[in-house]
Amino acid sequence: MRKIFVHGLSALDLIHTVSDLPKYAEKYKSNSVYVSIGGNAANASVALSRLGVKAYLSTVIGNDEVGKILKQKLLSENIDLSYTHYVDNFKTSISSIIIDKNGERLVLNNREFNHVAIKNNIDFEIFDGFLFDSRDIKNSIKILEWIKNIKKPKVLDAEENTTKELLNYFSHVVFSYQGLKSFTGIDNVERALKTFAQKTKFQTLVTNGEHGCYYIQDKMIKNIPAIKIKAVDTLAAGDVWHGAFLFELIKKSSLVNSIKFANYIASLKCKKFGGSSGSPFIYEINENVVL
């Protein structure tokens, strides 16, 4: 079984569905409610585990009531928590999420930044690939220094808080369009990507929701559109995309095939309600999709 090391944010999501997103300071009745795993790294770990990979999640969870629920949910997804830190007097991240009839979302998140020192007692050579989000930059850089000589795929889920120092360690950097726009100050996905990629040596990609994924090949900007579906819930779709993308990379699939597969897995997730709990299992994947 392939093994992937994932480092970053984990959270507990409290998800409500409504017909329309609230506009006024009033009481609203939700149509349904669901409690799910949340956070970039934890969501990606769920996607990887359901694809048949052994995901090892490096994160911080508080020894509080929310943390206990989150821990049990992660274990129920067969995610290895050997490298997870459990901390007293630390509030586990929790999000309240409202999803409308079109699958669009409003997110309120309570998150503490921690100062837990990650210990170097891990045999990183056992892993086939590495996935980081940009939420815990200090510890991420520490780990990336330890693994910089390991020549295996290293993917960054890059958001607006990404730093130049963090970027230098990765084989593939995947920005959300919002993240790249914030990082470059350029409000045009193709121009932002071209400007940014000119100064880097790693492979840069940009995901942009229903518009799919942009990347550069032979100095030309390419786009692989997202699969057209009726979205039920887009929550965690980006995190699931990152997990599926790395899943293909560690199998030495081409960049194009890795993007197409990630688009496909993210589309399946968006057809299901419940954040990362809607991530597909490997047995649900169309037999015509190359694994």
Residue 248: both structure tokens together:
């293909």
How does residue 290 score in pLDDT terms, banded at 50, 70 and 90?
Answer: low
Mean pLDDT of 103-108: 80
Output the six-digit token pair for 51.
């694809």
Of residues 38, 171, 178, the one with CA closest to residue 108: 38
- When pLDDT is cut at 50, 70 and 90, the band that residue 151 belongs to is very high
Can you tell me the distance from the alpha carbon of 252 to that of 169, in angstroms, rounded to the nearest whole number? 19
Distances (CA, A) of 149 to 121, 156, 174, 273: 17, 17, 21, 40
Which tops the pLDDT comparison, 120 or 42?
42
pLDDT in the model for residue 178: 93
The proportion of the chain whose per-residue pLDDT surpasses 70, expressed as a percent, equals 97
**Tokens describing residue 204:** 């840069």
Window from 115-119, 176-180, 219-223 with minimum mean pLDDT: 115-119
Kind of pairing, strands 154-158 and 129-133?
parallel
- Helix (H) / strand (E) element for 44: namely helix 40-50
pLDDT at 233: 85
Looking at residue 259, its pLDDT comes to 97
Q: What are the phi and psi torsion angles at 17 (to 5°)? A: -110, 140
> What percent of the residues of the chain are helix, what percent strand, and what percent coil, each to the nearest 5?
35, 25, 40
197 CB neighbour count, 10 Å cutoff: 19
Q: How far is CA 290 from CA 49, 228, 247, 281, in A?
A: 18, 19, 12, 15
- Mean pLDDT, to the nearest integer, of 24-46? 91
Q: What was the pLDDT predicted at 89? A: 86
pLDDT classification of 288: cutoffs 50, 70, 90? low
Note the pLDDT tens digit of each residue in 73-90.
Answer: 999 999 999 999 998 888
* Average pLDDT along the chain: 91
Q: What is the mean pLDDT of residues 130-150?
A: 94
* Mean pLDDT of all residues in 51-77: 96
Residue type, 91: K
Residue 214: the pLDDT is 97
φ, ψ of residue 105 to 5 degrees: the values are -135, 155
Q: Residue 208 has what pLDDT?
A: 94
Mean pLDDT of 263-284: 93
Query: How confident is residue 101, by pLDDT bands cut at 50, 70 and 90?
Result: confident
Q: Kindly provide the residue ranges of all beta strands, DSSP E only, lying in the chain, ordered along the sequence.
A: 3-7, 11-17, 32-38, 54-58, 60-62, 85-87, 94-99, 105-110, 129-133, 154-158, 172-176, 203-207, 213-217, 220-224
CATH number of 3-23+30-284: 3.40.1190.20
User: How much is the average pLDDT of 127-146?
Assistant: 94
Q: What is the tens place of the pLDDT at every residue in 163-220?
A: 999 999 999 999 999 999 999 999 999 999 999 988 888 999 999 999 999 999 888 9
Nearest to 145 by CA among 123, 169, 161, 127: 169
pTM assigned to the model: 0.93
Which tens digits make up the pLDDT trace of 156-171? 999 988 999 999 999 9
pLDDT score, position 113: 62
